[in-house]
Structure 1
Amino acid sequence: MNSAVMKKSLYFFAIPALIFYLVLWIFPILRLFQYSITDYNGYSQAFNYIGLDNYKFLLNGELLGISLKNTLIYTFVSVALSIIIGLALALLLNLKIKGKGMYRSLAYIPTLFSAIVVGFLWTYVYMPDYGMIATFLDKIGINADLNFLGSYSSALYAIIIVEIWKNVGTTMIIFLAALQTVPNELLEAGKIDGCGPWKLFKNIKLPLLASAMTINVTLSIISGLKAFDFPFIMTNGGPGTSTNTLIFAIYKMAFTEQLFGKASALGVISFAVIILITAIFVLRMNKREVSA
């Protein structure tokens, strides 16, 4: 068999993956666009095409604005803190300290739990009167009436803490892996030139972490923009609409209110927002990576 025939035969191995991609990715997206211009209720086979009425309903209502605002706050805060804490942990656990392997494992353990387990665990932690935080404060003599998940002003940020706690281990591991590739020769040369710890980090380590930074920021942004599990498990979008994210709003509109057409339109808008924001950040991070 000559090389040209062999190359052509290799394309046949991609057919199963292509079929899965078309069936499980492209086809659902096309159906989403189709349902977004109908009055489909999710269970009846009969529906009517109503043009852009669903989009007009969302743009004229408060739901889209509230959900988008909550999602952007959730994403921005969780990404910023995950990167800062993950990088700090990676730098700390990259030092020559006793038992650092155990500390790395402990920092990574939360990522191994499912969102359901983590959500229920932290619901108990936040529980007023009998929760872990309330009990601890009571033991040290502080009688504080705290209801983190029941307060409109604190519920979203309480859930963001849970998001960070669960995912910061992954961020740390990626940074830690990148730190292992920093040549010791560069660090030694920097020390000889009189660079202190801060200058070594700023001028040598940080530029070499550009690829890891891009990966972590991208993963964190995607995770934040599609936030659903913790708002659903811990607060069910409440109190009020304080933890109502875009994906949770889609779920509620489709499966609780049975407005599948409007939910599909919101899904299209969410899809566009996620693609746009992720693309902007990835392009900016790639430019910094090249310049570094």
Structure 2
Amino acid sequence: MNLSVIKNASAKSKKSKFSKNTTNVNSLIMNKKLYLFVIPALIMYLLFWIFPIFKIFQYSVTDYNGFAQNYNYIGLKNYSELAKEGVLVNSISNTLIYTVLVVFLGNVISLILALILNMKIRGKGFYRSAAYIPTLFSAIVVGFIWSYVYMPDSGLIASLFKSLGINTDNLNFLGKPSSALYSIVVVDIWKNIGTTTIIYLAGLQTVPNELLEAGKIDGCSGWQLNRYVRIPLLAASVTINVALSIINGLKAFDYPFIMTNGGPGKTTNTLIYSLYKLAFTEQQFGKASALGVVAFAIIVAITAVTVIQMNKKEVSV
């Protein structure tokens, strides 16, 4: 009796081990088959992303003009000429000013707007939709709309000032070097404020009600709840929005191209706009590639450092 029980138990254990082994083999085969679905996307990624990056690094040390089949390797001459001509310094300074304003003002305004839209107010759904509407328009449409808004004589702002009896003779937002870059920053913030606001609103929805109730019991005002409870718990949302804003600011091209064409003078020449101008207007593709390498390094470095620091603060919170 005991022997039969032992034999049956051993047979069952062998079957279970065999079934487990076959299951593991089948799952391994399935995983290998699933990898096949990744190969087309990987090929596309290598072909249209990694390969062009390597080619830009290669062209940056040549005199390639974008058309000729033959070109010469000239070392770091393109980089030195960019520095001597002032293109590099001018583009980097304009881009950094643009980025700092977009990141700081855009996130502050979006956070305030998100806190307001998170309150119990009438028509909250309508206001949330209205805040997101600018994000739905393309950059070209937004650029042309705001170009008419900024028109010196017959634009929306000029007409409004005239109706209030304000002199508009010197009103030229996009035509003055002192105001052109800041006017474009306003457009960029207006265009993207819906996205950052929605991300902050999503973060506010995750704040536990228990903490808010505890704060109210301790006598915290609405401002104190925002300052000491809600905002500290938005660390993840702040990290996402700051990173997106930095990338958006450092690769600014649309509005300088559409609204000012880099002018007046070179006051709105950003890194990407200067790259475009060198490559497709002046046919200096090698020099444009060198500027692209610099822009790539700056974007990666600033974004990486910012995200790492923000993540450290997020963990500490």
Is contact 2:60–2:286 with CA below 8 Å preserved after alignment?
yes
- Partner AA of 1:263 in structure 2: A
- 1:124-139 to 2 correspondence within 5 Å? 124-139=148-163
Is contact 2:92–2:271 with CA below 8 Å preserved after alignment?
yes
Q: Which residue of 2 is the match for residue 213 of structure 1?
A: 238
CA separation in 2, counterparts of 1:115 and 1:2? 50
| Deviation per residue, 1:22-64 (Å, 9 max, x gap) | 0111000001011111100011112111111111111222110
Q: Which residue of 2 is the match for residue 222 of structure 1?
A: 247
Structure 1 segments of 4 or more deviating over 3 A? none
Q: Which residue of 1 is the match for residue 44 of structure 2?
A: 20
- For the pair 1:4 / 2:28, whether they are aligned, the reply is yes
CA separation in 2, counterparts of 1:136 and 1:56? 48
Using the TM superposition, give the Cα deviation of residue 216 of structure 1 relative to its aligned residue in structure 2, in angstroms.
0.3
Using the TM superposition, give the Cα deviation of residue 10 of structure 1 relative to its aligned residue in structure 2, in angstroms.
2.1
- For the pair 1:237 / 2:262, whether they are aligned, the reply is yes
CA separation in 1, counterparts of 2:178 and 2:264? 9
Residue aligned with 1:209, SS: helix
Q: Which residue of 2 is the match for residue 51 of structure 1?
A: 75
Quick check: 260-269 or 49-58, which moved more? 49-58
Tell me the percent identity: 66
Residue aligned with 2:210, SS: helix
| Deviation per residue, 1:175-202 (Å, 9 max, x gap) | 0011111111110011111212222112
CA separation in 1, counterparts of 2:166 and 2:82? 46
- Partner AA of 1:92 in structure 2: I
> Larger C-alpha radius of gyration, 1 or 2?
2
RMSD: 0.9
- Partner AA of 1:185 in structure 2: E
Specify which of 29, 48, 56 is matched with residue 32 of structure 1: 56
Q: Which residue of 2 is the match for residue 287 of structure 1?
A: 312
Residue aligned with 2:72, SS: coil
Q: Which residue of 2 is the match for residue 276 of structure 1?
A: 301
TM-score by length of 2: 0.90
- Partner AA of 2:60 in structure 1: S
Quick check: 188-197 or 121-130, which moved more? 188-197
Using the TM superposition, give the Cα deviation of residue 98 of structure 1 relative to its aligned residue in structure 2, in angstroms.
0.6
- 1:1-292 to 2 correspondence within 5 Å? 2-145=26-169, 146-292=171-317
Using the TM superposition, give the Cα deviation of residue 78 of structure 1 relative to its aligned residue in structure 2, in angstroms.
0.8
Quick check: 128-137 or 9-18, which moved more? 9-18
CA separation in 2, counterparts of 1:169 and 1:268? 31
Mind listing any 5+ residue stretches in structure 2 that lack a counterpart? 1-24
CA separation in 1, counterparts of 2:248 and 2:91? 16
CA separation in 2, counterparts of 1:239 and 1:284? 37
- Partner AA of 2:65 in structure 1: N
CA separation in 2, counterparts of 1:284 and 1:198? 27
CA separation in 2, counterparts of 1:5 and 1:42? 47
Is contact 2:152–2:168 with CA below 8 Å preserved after alignment?
no
